[in-house]
Structure 1
């Protein structure tokens, strides 16, 4: 004995229009399997069978059908939203930018320690890089700096014309 479907499919558009939308869909590619699912439901397949045919779980099929029944085609468009709220608020980001502008070069480890000490927020180094990139900052490898090097090293090493006459030009 077959179980009768608990939730009926609402026929917002005729089957022929649905087939045309599947064939010539120009929007997000994720919508096509959802349209195929609705087409299978139009032809009499159960929610679970239609869901398995397009490669999703039965619960996902019920979710798609519910959205189709209430919103029509617009309900099949994925709604990308949500996620975990950011630990760093907009005001804290502003303070962070001001603090980062005080110094020319920062390492991600230094920024990680700054976030921990200033705001009490622990981020991984990868997340610190993502935050810095979102703030428009670019990473790069710095040239190694010798801490023994004097600040005026270039001036000390620059040859003057008097030095060349004194020591010779070096040409043979």
Structure 2
């Protein structure tokens, strides 16, 4: 027996907007937890006790308290540092993007080899995919193309046969 949906979902907003709202509420829930920790500290609990009540380590509690003491509310706002700097500069990425536009179809392996040859930088396949994704390049299995196919094959199919 196939499960069919009995009540269809109405899409009031786009998926992108929905994901943005989820991100906003995620930030709010993180801030709530941090403010709750500060409130517990105000009420007289020690850092390890307050940390346990909100479900964080004591080290994180001390870190939050230090940021609170230095900056107040602004110090509790999550700071997402982007991670390790890219091996390619922004200018080199722009050059790479232009180079990739010169050919219609690129495999991830070909793009990785191009980066190695042109810039002397070695990336993992996963990182190459992330770079290509940041260029809005689409990933799909390429349609096989027969090297024996004549350039005017479409026209040849449209012509009526001689026997008609």
TM exceeding 0.5: yes
Instruction: Supply the distance in 2 between the matched residues of 1:66 and 1:154 (Cα, whole angstroms).
Output: 70
Q: How many residues align?
A: 140
> After alignment, is 150-159 or 42-51 more displaced?
150-159
Secondary structure in structure 2 of the residue aligned to 1:30: helix
> 1:93, CA displacement in angstroms?
0.9
1:136-164 C-alpha deviation (Å, 9 max, x unpaired): 2222332111112222222334324xx4x
Q: Which residue of 1 aligns with 2:35?
A: 35
Q: Which residue of 1 aligns with 2:6?
A: none
> After alignment, is 145-154 or 44-53 more displaced?
145-154
CA RMSD of aligned residues (A): 2.0
Unaligned runs of 5+ in 2: 1-24
If you compute each CA radius of gyration, which structure gives the higher value, 1 or 2? 1
1:65-118 C-alpha deviation (Å, 9 max, x unpaired): 111112111111111114100111111112112211211111111101111111
Check 1:167–1:26 CA distance in 2 against 1; reply closer, same or farther (3 A cut): closer
Q: Which residue of 2 aligns with 1:167?
A: 163
Q: Which residue of 1 aligns with 2:134?
A: 134
Q: Which residue of 1 aligns with 2:101?
A: 101
Q: Which residue of 1 aligns with 2:19?
A: none
